Amino acid sequence: MSKAPTVYDVAESAGVSIATVSRVLRTPEAVRPETRDRVLDAVSRLGYVPSGSARGLAERRTGVLGMYFPGFDAIDDVSALDVLANEVREPFTVVRGAGPRDDARASMLFQDEVLRGAELEAWRRGFVLMVGVGRGDPSASTVRDMAGRVDGLVVLASSIPDDALAWLSRRVPIVVLAGPRRGDRHDHVTVSNTEAMVELTRHVLAQTDGRPPAYLAGPADSPDGAQRWEGFRRAIEAAGLRIDEIDVRRGDFTRASGRRVGEELVAHGLPAALMSSNDQMALGALDAFASAGIRVPQDVIVTGFDGIDASALVSPPLTTVRQPMIELGRAAIQVLAHRLETPDAEPVSVRLPVEILLRESSLRAS
């Protein structure tokens, strides 16, 4: 560790040239077996690990792919946490009645799974994965940093501004993940949010005998939210209903905001159904309804969107749409790998299918 052995050390120790060491590692069959063994012996004797930097420089490829997420500032408690300070610390604390984790953390699960899929696919193709999280750095320095170290980059939609994207894509190929397509200059992977919402809305209308659901929207700037709303609107209009007569409420994707809207609805009159643009808010609405003694789905149907774990665990289980998160990650890397092989092919746009999970919260006639 003090000074890691290099090809030169191995070469000297094995009595060969550095070229031969390199050959043994890269094209073993091109080296005479005895020589090869001498080299391999030296390699293991010295504990030689090739420098990725030197390799990357010489090969003009790093073997690394990057994945860049937008950050959740709410979660990033950037407090000091100095574990090396010698404060006295109790080995444990006792807490009574702690609930599940909070909203913000739950919404990160999405990213976690995408990341897993990406890592898996990267591994299959002989790459390693580098991850970065955006933390509101205007100069996008983290992602630029990454761009300099990888052969290609997957960027979650809306994690960086368009001009930064353009900049980076001069160095490495970029795949944009989720959200609507941004121009047609980059490869793009997304899910069938809109189509699924059309179908889900149809389902709800069938359950309510055509009475219009209320809609629980997310923040106005959410690309996913926009796609979901679009699907809702289409289905409503296709059913001959007027979109501007829909009771639309806006939340911020948190459970608390869903609860608040649920309470409003309880106070001002219940719709036949409440379709939420994500699960968290739907769960919040369920909370409010339960507190008010309102039965779901008998008194009001509720649906979510995302397919988080909690949606299956609440009572009644929540009808929702499950995003294929692992597959999203895999698909992104796949598209990236493809791009690396054929740099001049036209940009592609891949749309992955989703699963509509019909559960008790929307099934009036079981």
Cβ neighbours for 154, distance < 8 A, ≥ 6 positions apart: 65, 66, 67, 68, 118, 174, 175, 177, 329, 332, 333, 336
CA–centroid distance for 256 within its chain: 23
Both tokens of 155, joined, read 């960027």
99 binds, among DNA, a copy of itself, none (CB under 5 to 8 A by kind): a copy of itself
**128 part of the interface to DNA, by CB under 7 A:** no
Report in angstroms how near the CB of residue 62 gets to DNA at its nearest: 11
Report in angstroms how near the CB of residue 339 gets to a copy of itself at its nearest: 10
Q: Could you say which of 26, 105, 124, 211 contacts DNA (CB under 7 A)?
A: 26
268 binds, among DNA, a copy of itself, none (CB under 5 to 8 A by kind): none
**96 part of the interface to DNA, by CB under 7 A:** no
**DSSP calls for 178-191:** SSS--TTSSEEEEE
Q: In this structure, are residues 176 and 182 in contact, taking their beta carbons and an 8 Å threshold? A: yes
Report in angstroms how near the CB of residue 1 gets to a copy of itself at its nearest: 6
Q: Nearer to DNA by C-beta: 6 or 349?
A: 6
**DSSP calls for 64-87:** EEEEEE---TTT-------TTS--
Q: Could you say which of 1, 47, 60, 94 contacts DNA (CB under 7 A)?
A: 60
Report in angstroms how near the CB of residue 105 gets to a copy of itself at its nearest: 8
Torsion of CA 15, 17, 21, 23, to 10 degrees: -130
How many C-beta atoms surround the C-beta of residue 28 within 10 A? Answer: 12
Judged by CB under 7 A, the chain residues 280 through 299 that form the site for DNA are none
Q: Nearer to a copy of itself by C-beta: 257 or 362?
A: 362
Report in angstroms how near the CB of residue 10 gets to DNA at its nearest: 7
Q: What is the DSSP letter of 216?
A: E
Crossing angle of the two packed helices 255-268 and 279-291, in degrees rounded to 10 = 40
**DSSP calls for 291-349:** HTT--TTTT-EEE-SB--THHHHSSSPPBEEE--HHHHHHHHHHHHHHHHH-TTSPP-E
176 binds, among a copy of itself, DNA, none (CB under 5 to 8 A by kind): none
**54 part of the interface to DNA, by CB under 7 A:** yes
- Residue bearing tokens 């219009």: 212
**22 part of the interface to DNA, by CB under 7 A:** yes
Q: Nearer to DNA by C-beta: 34 or 87?
A: 34
Report in angstroms how near the CB of residue 44 gets to a copy of itself at its nearest: 8
For DNA, which stretch binds (CB under 7 A), given 22-30, 95-103, 293-301, 308-316?
A: 22-30
Q: Nearer to DNA by C-beta: 57 or 345?
A: 57
**273 part of the interface to DNA, by CB under 7 A:** no
Count CA atoms closer than 13 A to 10's CA, side-chain side.
28
**149 part of the interface to DNA, by CB under 7 A:** no
The residues that touch DNA, with contacts defined as CB under 7 A, are 4, 6-8, 15-23, 25-26, 30-32, 34-36, 48, 50-51, 53-55, 57-60
